[in-house]
Amino acid sequence: MVRESNIIQIIGETEYARLRKIRCLLVGAGGIGSELLKDLILMNFGEISVVDLDTIDLSNLNRQFLFRQKDIKKSKSSVAVKAVEHCNNSKLQAYQGNIMDTKEFPLHWFDQFDILFNALDNLAARRYVNKISQFLKKPLIESGTAGFDGYIQPIIPGQSECFDCTSKETPKTYPVCTIRSTPSQPVHCVVWAKDFLFNQLFNDLSEGEGQEGETSKDWGSDDVDEIKRIQEESQELKELQDIVRSGDMKRVTRMLEKLFVEDIAKLLKIENLWKNGRTKPVALAKENLEGEYDETLLLSVDQVGTLEEQIAEFINSSKRLMKRLIGAEANAQGIEFDKDDEDTLRFVSSASNIRSLIFGIPVQSIFDIKKIAGNIIPAVASTNGIIAGLSSLISLRVLQLLPETKDKGVLDINMAFTSKASNISNDRYLSNPKLARPNCKCVVCSRVLRGVVKMSDDGLKEITLGGLVEELRGKYDFPEDISLMDTQDQRLLIDYDFDDLQGKTLGEMGLKEGSVLLFSDEMDEDQIRKPIELYLSMGQERLVLPDLPAEYIEGQTPVREEEEPSEISANADANDGVIILDDDLPEDNQLGDKRPLDSGDDADRKRVKIGDNDDGDDDDDNDDVIELD
Amino acid sequence: MNNENKLSSDEIALYDRQIRLWGMAAQARMRSTQVLLIGIGAIGQEIAKNIVLSGIGQLTLLDDRILTEEDLGSQFFVSKNEVSMKRLEAAGPRIADLNPRVTLHVDTDKLRAKNDEYFSKFDLIVGTELIPADASWLNDATRRLNIPLYITGSNGLSAYCFIDLIQFDSQDTKLQSQIPTKLGKVSKNRTITNIEIKEDSNNNDKKQEIITTRHIYKSFSELLKTFTFEGLHRRQIKRMSNMVPLTLALLTIPEELNNEQLTIDQLKEYTLKVCNQGGLLKDILRDESIEQMVRQRNIEFSPVAAIMGGAVAQDVINILGKKQSPLNNFIVFDGITLDMPIYEL
Ligand SMILES: [Zn+2]
């Protein structure tokens, strides 16, 4: 008996020989990634490349079992690969980098793999790898966990649903007035303390408040007085900003007075707010502000603390932050909220709790506030173990390595999500629906054709936008009215009434390896050509356009992602009550949202997302800022 | 929580992500528990990994086997140059290294050398890779001593777990729906014994129900003697994975037949008996499945071990923290369809 005897019993000699040649890409070496690496190695896959951007953090060690205390701050992918050496029989390669970096990981780099495994923690990267899998027609096993909830979804391009075929959970947002005037839950106060107060005081160093987007805000009220008060309050914050930047520690109590006495008094004057029996806030009393406070107080993280203690925490953390701002460098950059930065966390926690006390809302420990403010998703080893096990196991079916299912089609393969642990069912540990066909409305896999354009550096320098459009129109036999868009930043490059840029070369337009162009039929007809997404891949030839079939879709209706209820989204992203704002998210309605270059319409493109942070590679330090307005 | 049971700030930082799942009190409680894990093969190592990471107080590993070349294909915590050492001597140090806060004991005695006095030290026992006779013998002891027991094992692409918590009261909290939960029997082995209504602190117009459910269990030998699938939906019976009756057949087949010489016909004979006793449809049985089970009998496979080991460890951690409803009382995993039903047998 030898090491491989078990797997040979399961898949057979011939398939085992194939398995030894399979090259896997594992994206993420965090919670699921650590477990997947273990499983793939024990299964004796031929080659495994592991990509992760992150370094190891203390809070990873409860589940990312390849890492130890001594590894903290080191690269996840390389530590992971070293930690499996003792039992490894595969060719391993570790990369520390962002999978979306087209310089380090151009499209042709992905082409070397036979299968992609997503072990990610954020929506943007998941969508990106999903698109790559669609461009290259490579199978992808998508997975995710949050607490006891988890799912796996095998994706076989062209044959089964892609990651974007079902809409992902919509973000939870709060109306401005709830946050600024009428909070009723701890989370409202945390959002106020973190996004409004902390950001304005310590991070927003620009002079003068921008007025953009004021009209499009969800105020949650049409009370003119209230909206006016909120706007005035923002202006008045200038005074507090000055205090913060003055470094004059004696003026810290003035901040308390303004925020927790004067602002509350003004709020109480807007009678409409308190008409329907809503509990009125009670401003802090004078003696609260003037009393002695403990200059050395540091509440323990699981302590709730009294009002006096919260005030002391507020003053102490404000002073520490002000000291940091005095340093010239920090002053220029401001201080960003970071849940692992004690001073910022304690400031937000105490400010939020003082506000809660004023509004009669339960006070929370620093530990609890850290979760809300830092968008922390619970995570545990067992769920990751189960999900990684399912992911690696189902890869055998996707790669057609299981003799029992040799003659079964793609739509006989199962996806899976936790059922018992997610309180969905008492009589199934997992739910295991079969894969569905691609959603015919999905703009990622169905409402678009995809191909790779090969181009040389010379081509980039010489070919103009107009020239490229002519080539495209000729090759694919598109009609007169077309549009060409750079999907990276939703830039319209050319269409029937915007041709200012047609003399510019592709290079001048900033197109490069990894740029994705969208070429669309804009005729006003019932049947129009299916849009084509073209990936720019740099090579030797001046310009090679891919062969693509001529397919049609219904015209008129703008192509955009349909909001359809997802059967699995409840589990996939089961973390509710967390709000994050991620500026870097690709817009999902990219096909319906074309704007001319430099249209200056960039104002309110911020999107608030929920569930965009789970236990894939635990990148919970991404700069997600809680949304306020 | 008294001071002795309070978590240190280091512990809070290390266990942060899971404390957010089960709370500080459960995390602190886990620190004072002792678990015995018998068998440190593929599933055993997965269970050990998960519960050591979770931060339980003390874990004892009991295994007398020698590490083989074959073990290297499905067990993570061992290495090639350790072949022919005691398996536990190879895997023990790597498992201990996962979490220095957990006290790990290794014991290379035979299971049958142990007695009630030994078992009585533990709050919970997990047996893996046990032959049915040993499972029954162990279960008799845990019943005498009133200790929760999990018995788990795998056969290639499939795996199973038997659970005997004797009697267990769980508490689940859920938002009250239109139709309030009622007291009384909810299934063969579960009865709701108490419902407490609580205001939702985050949402004033919603009420929460704290539901106490009493779970009743059977011993391993009684389950094998008396199991029946009565009460299942016709559809559930029709689409039942072949792995369910096949697993039960392997557990009930006489010990002298359960070896490398086991034939397809022999296994089929016992599987038909299982169908008879359990009220299952004989025509769901496929010859390929029987052949698969004969070929893969007792074979360890890492992804399957990870899945069942994860499920068992999660339930162990769950009941040590006394949280949600535990498993009750027999689960089977089918690695081809990813089907994983839970049966109250
Ligand atoms: Zn799709």
Residue A355 contacts residue A190 (beta carbons within 8 Å):
no
Do B35 and B154 have their domain in common? yes
Do A399 and A460 have their domain in common? no
Examine residue A437 and state whether it is found in any structural domain, yes or no: no
Question: Does the annotation list A524 as a binding residue?
Answer: no
Give me the domain span that covers residue B156: 3-165+301-343
Identify which has the larger pLDDT, B27 or A580. Answer: B27
Percent of chain A with pLDDT over 70: 85
Do A516 and A383 have their domain in common? no
Average pLDDT in the B126-141 region?
Answer: 97
For residue B65, pLDDT beyond 60: yes
- Is the CB of B73 less than 8 angstroms away from the CB of A7? yes
Q: How far is CA A544 from the centre of its chain?
A: 34
Examine residue A577 and state whether it is found in any structural domain, yes or no: no
Q: What pLDDT score was predicted for residue A362?
A: 93
For residue B120, pLDDT beyond 80: yes
Q: What pLDDT score was predicted for residue A341?
A: 92
Average pLDDT in the B261-283 region?
Answer: 95
Do A483 and A334 have their domain in common? no
Answer whether A386 touches B (CB < 8 Å). Answer: yes
- Is the CB of A1 less than 8 angstroms away from the CB of B341? no
Do B156 and B17 have their domain in common? yes
For residue A259, pLDDT beyond 70: yes
* Cis bond upstream, residue B242 (ω within 30): no
Q: What pLDDT score was predicted for residue A334?
A: 84
Q: How many domains does chain B have?
A: 3
Average pLDDT in the A46-54 region?
Answer: 97
CATH of residue A107's domain is: 3.40.50.720
Closest by CA position to A417, among listed A570, A266, A198? A570
Question: Does the annotation list A76 as a binding residue?
Answer: yes
Identify which has the larger pLDDT, B293 or A526. Answer: B293
CATH of residue A544's domain is: 3.10.290.20
Do B144 and B14 have their domain in common? yes
Token digits of residue A421: 């642990």
Do B130 and B228 have their domain in common? no
Average pLDDT in the B2-26 region?
Answer: 86
Distance, CA of B32 to CA of B179 (rounded, Å): 40
Closest CA of chain B from A227, distance in Å: 25
Cα(B149) to centroid of ligand 1, in Å? 45
Q: Which stretches within A492-611 are classed as H helix?
A: 569-572
- Is the CB of B24 less than 8 angstroms away from the CB of A302? yes
Name residue, tokens 């003055």: A246
For residue B95, pLDDT beyond 50: yes
- Is the CB of B20 less than 8 angstroms away from the CB of A62? no
Do A228 and A310 have their domain in common? yes
Do A115 and A209 have their domain in common? no
For residue B141, pLDDT beyond 90: yes
Q: What is the pLDDT of residues B212-247, one digit of tens each?
A: 999 999 999 999 999 999 889 999 999 999 999 999
Mutation test of the interface with chain B: which of A382, A405, A430, choosing the one with the most B Cβ atoms within 10 A? A382
Q: How many residues does chain B have?
A: 345
Do B11 and B160 have their domain in common? yes
Cα(A568) to centroid of ligand 1, in Å? 15
Known catalytic residues of A? 177
Closest CA of chain B from A144, distance in Å: 15
Residue A513: DSSP 8-state: T
Q: How many domains does chain A have?
A: 3
For residue A195, pLDDT beyond 80: yes
Environment class of residue A74 by beta-carbon count within 10 Å: exposed (0-12), middle (13-18) or buried (19+)?
A: middle
Do A615 and A478 have their domain in common? yes
Residues 415-444 (A) with a CB less than 8 A from some CB of B: 415-416, 420-421, 423, 426-430, 432
Distance, CA of A101 to CA of A125 (rounded, Å): 10
Question: Does the annotation list A468 as a binding residue?
Answer: no
Give me the domain span that covers residue A355: 184-360
Q: β-strands A149-155, A595-596: how paired?
A: unpaired
Closest CA of chain B from A507, distance in Å: 46
Distance, CA of B195 to CA of B268 (rounded, Å): 47
Cα-based angle A451, A483, A516 (whole degrees, multiple of 5)? 35
For residue B12, pLDDT beyond 60: yes
Do B189 and B289 have their domain in common? no
Do B118 and B40 have their domain in common? yes
**Cβ within 8 Å of residue A245, ≥6 positions away:** A325, A331
CATH of residue B80's domain is: 3.40.50.720
Distance, CA of A355 to CA of A186 (rounded, Å): 9
Name residue, tokens 């979490």: B99
Q: What is the pLDDT of residues A73-112, one digit of tens each?
A: 999 999 999 999 999 999 999 999 999 999 899 999 999 9
Do B63 and B175 have their domain in common? no
For residue A586, pLDDT beyond 50: no
Do A407 and A554 have their domain in common? no
Confidence of residue A216 (pLDDT cuts 50, 70, 90): low
* Highest mean pLDDT (candidates A412-426, B85-99, B168-182): B85-99
For residue A65, pLDDT beyond 50: yes
Confidence of residue A600 (pLDDT cuts 50, 70, 90): very low
Distance, CA of B24 to CA of B10 (rounded, Å): 13
Mutation test of the interface with chain A: which of B129, B175, B340, choosing the one with the most A Cβ atoms within 10 A? B340
Do B251 and B116 have their domain in common? no
Q: What pLDDT score was predicted for residue A613?
A: 54
Do A139 and A220 have their domain in common? no
Do A241 and A352 have their domain in common? yes
Average pLDDT in the A353-362 region?
Answer: 95
Do B275 and B332 have their domain in common? no
Residues 41-60 (A) with a CB less than 8 A from some CB of B: 42-44, 58-59
pTM higher than the cut 0.90: no
